[in-house]
Structure 1
Amino acid sequence: MRIPALPPQLRLSADGPVATLVVDRPDRLNAFTLQMWAALPEAAAAVEEDPEVRVLVIRGPSGGPFSTGADIDEFTTVRREPADAQAYTEVVQRAEAAVSGLSKPVVALIEGWCVGGGCQLALACDVRVAADGASFGITPAKLGIVYPLASTARLVHTVGHATARFLLMTGEVVDAQRALRMGLVDEVCSPHAVRRRAYALARMLAGRAPISVAGAKALIDRVLAGQESDDAWTRELYAASYHSPEYAEGVAAFGERRVPDFRDCAWPSLGRVEA
């Protein structure tokens, strides 16, 4: 895997088909600096470009935290003027878009605090697995900040408008079990099992048919963008799947009563076609 030049607080590595991005700034509870936000698109591009990698796991150090969001201490310098604040927001939005825009699935392994921009980052992932004891909050109401529309839309699509109103307007921090009930996370595990479960899930995703996983992600994005009827692109995707090596292997494996092996099936180049 090509490892880009990243800030020392971000570490990217790969173990077979599973890549891991570790956010490691424990002295600041994994708060993101502007430099760290700006580096996320390059990390995501490295994952996208590697033909061997099929899943990305984003996590903090062992035991957490995941991230407490933006480093507020920077705001007096990097967000001093309105133009600076706008530029900062655009950097964060590009970082979120780079993660959510991966054609490959992204798993957030959440331990400890997952607050503010940390929650934004987790919501940009496809699957969120949390340790019991993790804490979640979206806190712009405590800072006099209004969330960008794209981030707000992602939250609404994930938890619904009523829960989004509660989280954004109150800024209240909720525990992992309540986050699970809200739909903010997909699974909650005991602290000693959460890492094992997240990586087992990542390996499961890596073993599924690439055209099915990438196709599902692209189609879901189109539905979220408002498309509900087929067009030429979706019909082409359906046709491609029925002529794919994944389909041939899946049908053969079913007939032979064995587990399908998709390792020789290349990750498809579906692009990020907008509806």
Structure 2
Amino acid sequence: MSLRLDYDGQTAHLLIDRADKRNAFTMAMWEALPGLLEQVRDKGDIRLLILRAADGGTFCAGADIRELLANKDDADWRAANQAAINRVQHDLARFDLPTMAFVEGDAIGGGCGLALACDLRVATPAARFGITPAKLGLVYPLHDVKLLVDLVGPGQARRMLYTGALLSAEEAQRIGLVETIADSPAALADAIMAASPHSIREIKRIVRRVLDGQAEDDAETRAIFAAAFDGADFAEGTAAFVEKRKPEFGK
């Protein structure tokens, strides 16, 4: 299926492994990805998920165009393919753990969409980003357009979508599409792993509420804030602060 998981301590690497096709996604890959997310979730001791190319080259060239053309007249296949893509993007954007896309080469079309659905994006200087449906007479899904607009704003989103232009890593960082340019995701990953997993988990949920339109606290968010003071991570974090040492958080 050209997707596989690799584990390094408490970090899971979801590897796109179809280099001979520039890591283009087939229907089978879209259908398989949610199950791989469930495997990471069920493992129980994982604190970070990194999505990356297995070979360190092209991140993902998007959907497999040859497969798409072969099935373009099959309405049932097209509907199933759209549903599979939508599920991946929804599940990845709302995954319980913090997620990072490490982009070493091109992230185009649906490949850029996968990076958009992650919490954070680290790009090497060689990375390029583009969303190209307008060059093919196609339309980008609303959910993914919102992910793009949330990151770069409507003006830059329109520029990317209207032109299909490929942006360098530097340009992507300038407009807010990429958080960090680095040759490795290690520095950002290490900083995340050093923080409270409870804090990150709940902050991620609150950020998603904001992105989905919530602007004021409700009973649930107030309860989340209050409960943290009774948690083990708060006890460890404050003890470490007083003792002038690095905190040692649990899972």
Q: TM-score, normalised by structure 2?
A: 0.96
**Which residue of 137, 152, 158 maps to 2:151?**
158
Partner of 1:272: none
Partner of 1:13: 6
1:43 aligns with 2:36: yes
Aligned counterparts of 1:206 and 1:79: Cα–Cα separation in 2: 44
Structure 1 SS opposite 2:44: coil
Partner of 1:226: 213
Residues 152/241 of structure 1: CA separation in 2 closer, same or farther (3 Å cut): same
**Which residue of 217, 240, 245 maps to 2:227?**
240
Aligned counterparts of 1:42 and 1:22: Cα–Cα separation in 2: 14
Residue type of the alignment partner of 1:222: R
Out of 58-67 and 76-85, give the one that drifted further: 76-85
1:206 aligns with 2:206: no
Contact 2:23-2:58 within 8 A present in 1 as well: yes
What runs of 5+ residues in structure 2 fail to find an aligned partner?
Answer: none
Q: Residue deviations 1:8-42, cap 9 Å, x none?
A: x1120211110101101111000000101111101
1:117 aligns with 2:104: no
Q: Report the CA distance between 1:258 and its aligned residue.
A: 0.5
What runs of 5+ residues in structure 1 fail to find an aligned partner?
Answer: 1-6, 267-275
Partner of 2:67: 74
Partner of 2:20: 27
Structure 1 SS opposite 2:246: coil
Aligned counterparts of 1:95 and 1:169: Cα–Cα separation in 2: 24
How many residues in Structure 1 have an aligned counterpart in Structure 2? 251
Partner of 1:261: 248
Residue type of the alignment partner of 1:145: L
Q: Residue deviations 1:190-223, cap 9 Å, x none?
A: xxxx12xx02322321221111101111001001
Residue type of the alignment partner of 2:229: Y
Residue type of the alignment partner of 1:112: G
Structure 2 SS opposite 1:89: helix
Partner of 1:215: 202
Q: Report the CA distance between 1:87 and its aligned residue.
A: 2.1
Partner of 1:170: 163
Q: Percent identity?
A: 43
Q: CA RMSD for the aligned pairs?
A: 1.2
Out of 203-212 and 119-128, give the one that drifted further: 203-212
Aligned counterparts of 1:44 and 1:247: Cα–Cα separation in 2: 28
Aligned counterparts of 1:54 and 1:200: Cα–Cα separation in 2: 15
Structure 2 SS opposite 1:218: helix
Aligned counterparts of 2:203 and 2:72: Cα–Cα separation in 1: 38
Out of 53-62 and 75-84, give the one that drifted further: 75-84
Out of 74-83 and 229-238, give the one that drifted further: 74-83
Residues 87/79 of structure 1: CA separation in 2 closer, same or farther (3 Å cut): farther
Contact 1:11-1:21 within 8 A present in 2 as well: yes
Q: TM-score, normalised by structure 1?
A: 0.88
**Which residue of 166, 176, 179 maps to 2:172?**
179
